[in-house]
């Protein structure tokens, strides 16, 4: 004769879930509460007694509960996702990675995830944005390299879709942005060249269609005019020009009698190309000419320690982008979501 079977350990409490993951019901069963109450308690609703709230939080922690994103998203209509438009073009070393890293940092303690939406999903980069809006694939959008009348900005403003961009525009409607103070960068860079005694300065501009091209030009020209110094703005090359083409251009230019002896370079690779071109022409950095470059990684100063640099912290920018986008998402009327990050000047005492 065998013993009559008894309830196994834990059999009386039906807290094991189909897929094995604890849910609100698991907690409700353990706590002897309704699912509703548990949901409320976890979101710290004021009408739930403090004692219950604490107890529910404790249980949740103990069994490793984590809310199901799909269910939340289905119910609330919020995706808890922030998307970034990935630009295949990367003129700055580690540009995208640094920004993404910063965004991820800002999202760290929030329920938000970062998803990557490559631009090639569509022919124009505004179409990628449209796709995301139309199908509500994210709660907010981040992108970089703005143009004065950026099609993405226009679209997102019209749709009232939360976004923030790295770079400014010229729309009359204000919108959130984080930008680097490229005016001051160019102004200080140019002044540094002048202070070092250079007699003719040149600047490698970003592509003309980008907003910050004007900022750089403006900063450069302001310093030039203040000092009444000779200058030149090459038309045939820009920051996106392949390094070898830029190098050849600089070499050819250096051979002429009225060649510039000071360069403002808003990118590390272009700075290296300029140095290469000048070197091809027999000119020595810091002796025959000088460069002030924008530095976003350690690359340039590691390779050419003699270059004066002004730093742009892209990870910090990413962090601000993430933080401010969340503000915009959670409070559509939030104002002053504008940030102009100051250049960090690294000139040695010399």
Partner DNA sequence: TCTGGGAATGAAAACGTTTTAAATTTTAAC
Partner DNA sequence: GTTAAAATTTAAAACGTTTTCATTCCCAGA
- Answer yes or no whether residue 311 interacts with its own copies by CB under 8 A: no
Residues 115 and 123: their CA atoms lie apart, in Å, by 20
- Answer yes or no whether residue 222 interacts with its own copies by CB under 8 A: no
Q: What are the φ/ψ torsions at residue 90 (nearest 5 degrees)?
A: -135, 90
Shortest Cβ distance from residue 58 to its own copies (Å)? 19
C-beta separation of 275 from 308 below 8 A: no
Which of DNA, its own copies, none does residue 37 bind (CB under 5 to 8 Å by kind)?
A: DNA
Q: Which residue has the tokens 């050419």?
A: 304
Shortest Cβ distance from residue 215 to its own copies (Å)? 25
- Out of 69, 208, 209, 225, name the contact with its own copies by CB under 8 A: 69
- By CB under 8 A, the residues from 229 to 268 that bind its own copies are 242-244, 247
- By CB under 7 A, the residues from 59 to 78 that bind DNA are 65, 67-68, 71-72, 74-76
Shortest Cβ distance from residue 306 to its own copies (Å)? 11
- Out of 35, 230, 299, 341, name the contact with its own copies by CB under 8 A: 299
Instruction: Determine the size of the site formed for its own copies (CB under 8 A).
Output: 52
In this chain, which stretch among 77-85, 164-172, 182-190, 256-264 interacts with its own copies, using CB under 8 A? 77-85
- Answer yes or no whether residue 10 interacts with DNA by CB under 7 A: no
Site string for DNA, 20-39 (x = CB under 7 A): -x-xxx------xxxxxx-x
- Out of 37, 79, 144, 309, name the contact with its own copies by CB under 8 A: 79
> Which residue, 75 or 236, has its beta carbon nearer to DNA?
75
- Chain residues binding its own copies by CB under 8 A are 19, 21, 64, 66, 68-71, 73-74, 77, 79, 81, 86, 88, 90, 93-94, 96-97, 100-101, 104-105, 108, 113-118, 120-121, 134-137, 242-244, 247, 269, 272-273, 276, 298-299, 301-305
């Amino acid at each position: 004769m065998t013993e009559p079977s008894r309830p196994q350990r834990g059999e009386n409490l039906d807290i094991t879930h189909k897929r094995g993951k604890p849910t609100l019901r698991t907690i409700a069963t353990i706590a002897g509460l309704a699912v509703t109450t548990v949901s409320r308690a976890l979101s710290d609703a004021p009408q739930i007694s403090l004692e219950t709230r604490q107890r529910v939080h404790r249980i949740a922690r103990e069994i490793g509960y984590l809310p199901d994103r799909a269910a939340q998203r289905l119910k609330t209509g919020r995706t808890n996702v922030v998307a970034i438009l990935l630009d295949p073009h990367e003129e700055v070393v580690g540009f995208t990675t640094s920004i993404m890293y910063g965004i991820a940092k800002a999202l760290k303690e929030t329920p938000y995830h970062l998803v990557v939406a490559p631009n090639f999903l569509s022919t124009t980069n505004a179409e990628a944005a449209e796709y995301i809006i139309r199908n509500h694939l994210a709660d907010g959008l981040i992108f970089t390299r703005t143009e004065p009348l950026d099609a993405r900005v226009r679209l997102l403003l019209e749709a009232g879709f939360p976004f923030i961009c790295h770079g400014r525009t010229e729309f009359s409607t204000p919108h959130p942005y984080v930008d680097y103070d490229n005016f001051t960068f160019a102004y200080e860079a140019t002044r540094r060249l002048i202070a070092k005694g250079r007699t003719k300065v040149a600047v490698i501009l970003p592509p003309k269609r980008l907003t910050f091209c004007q900022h750089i030009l403006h900063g450069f020209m302001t310093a030039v005019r203040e000092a009444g110094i000779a200058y030149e703005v090459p038309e045939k090359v820009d920051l996106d020009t392949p390094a070898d083409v830029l190098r050849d251009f600089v070499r050819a230019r250096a051979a002429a009698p009225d060649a510039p002896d000071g360069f403002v370079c808003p990118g590390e690779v272009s700075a290296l190309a300029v140095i290469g071109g000048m070197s091809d022409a027999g000119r020595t950095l810091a002796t025959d000419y000088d460069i002030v470059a924008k530095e976003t990684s350690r690359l340039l100063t590691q390779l050419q320690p003699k270059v004066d640099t002004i730093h742009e912290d892209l990870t910090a920018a990413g962090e601000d982008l993430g933080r401010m986008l969340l503000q915009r998402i959670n409070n559509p009327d939030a104002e002053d979501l504008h940030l102009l990050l100051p250049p960090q000047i690294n000139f040695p005492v010399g």
